[in-house]
Amino acid sequence: MAHIVTDTIRGVRLPALGDLLRRIGLGLGAARQRHRLAELDETMLRDIGLTRDEALAEARRPVWDVPQTWLR
């Protein structure tokens, strides 16, 4: 049985606010991981099967561009 929350904070429905905060957290986490990926040396990148160009391309993705599987 689904529970529907009807409370609001300044006109924003709480489920919508919670989803927004969750997505912001996911985006910041992705940005942190991408930054660290860009800092890996050639040996580490080779170990995970990436080239420097692939790692940098991933690191340049925008913060809101997270895998769809994370949004479930």
Domain assignment present for 20: yes
User: Is it the case that residue 16 has pLDDT exceeding 90?
Assistant: no
pTM summary value = 0.69
Helix, strand, coil content of the chain in percent (nearest 5): 60, 5, 35
Domain count, the chain: 1
Domain assignment present for 2: no
Domain assignment present for 68: no
Tell me the residue type at 38.
A
Which range marks the domain in which residue 39 is found?
Answer: 13-62
Domain assignment present for 1: no
Tens-digit pLDDT profile for residues 28-65: 999 999 999 999 999 999 999 999 999 999 999 998 88
Report d(CA 31, CA 22) in Å as an integer. 14
| Helix axis angle, 14-39 to 52-59, nearest 10° | 150
